[in-house]
Structure 1
Amino acid sequence: MKELAELTEKELLGRLAEPGNREAVLFFTPLCGTCKVAERMLQVVEASGKAIPLHKLNINYARELRQRWQIASVPCLVVVEAGEVQAREYAMHGVDFLFDLLKEA
């Protein structure tokens, strides 16, 4: 399974400016074991081919979005549509939960 594409904060901010864009971002830190488990579950969802675009972003390099979206801890999965936060999940309840959350509309 391929890894989630890692974006910089600047790249993500550019993507968010696109109208009608719906995607999900996993905020993580490299040494976080729970983050690795969350990413693995998201890889399974992404492999289904029916999920919205998924990315990851190292929270240590995302000062602006961390403050704007009030990210309290990692892992944190944020679903964004047209630049607005639609969902913020800290507990990854399982692949089926994530699949339902991230399926294409």
Structure 2
Amino acid sequence: MIKITENQLEAEEILLYIHSPFCGTCHVARQMLEQIEGIHKQDIFYEMNASLYPQFMQDNEVESVPCLFIKKNNEVKEKVYAFHSIGNIYQYLYQYKPELFQQD
């Protein structure tokens, strides 16, 4: 995962994993996302410590962590709070990052 910067928060498209370092559920969610990145052998998700970006959290009405914040075409599409399983996260990747599944 790539640590987010202020400039990257302004990107038109982003898959952002928002967490807190003291959240046990966040650690489980991180493991799922890291497994997905390992399978694809690339960084897919940006990560953000929620406590370091309070204005972003308030502006985007992020209710809790962990959160997979999905922005596409400069519009917030999803805020996923329940990760459930790797298969569940893949449903979002199929929809918002289909290029991961295109064969050369």
What runs of 5+ residues in structure 1 fail to find an aligned partner? none
Query: What is the RMSD computed on CA atoms of the aligned residues?
Result: 2.1
Matched, 1:59 2:50: yes
Over the matched positions of the two proteins, sequence identity in percent amounts to 27
Name the TM-score, length of structure 1 as normaliser. 0.79
Taking CA–CA contacts closer than 8 Å with sequence separation of 6 or more, which of the two structures ends up with the larger relative contact order? 1
TM-score normalised by the chain length of structure 2 = 0.80
Aligned to 2:36: 45
> Where does structure 1 differ by over 2 angstroms across 4 or more consecutive aligned residues?
11-14, 50-53
5 Å matches for 1:2-81? 4-8=1-5, 10-14=6-10, 16=11, 21-49=12-40, 53-81=44-72
Shift of 1:23: 2.5
Name structure 2 gaps, 5 residues minimum: 99-104
Greater helix fraction, Structure 1 or Structure 2:
2
Q: Kindly name which structure, 1 or 2, has the bigger radius of gyration based on alpha carbons.
A: 2
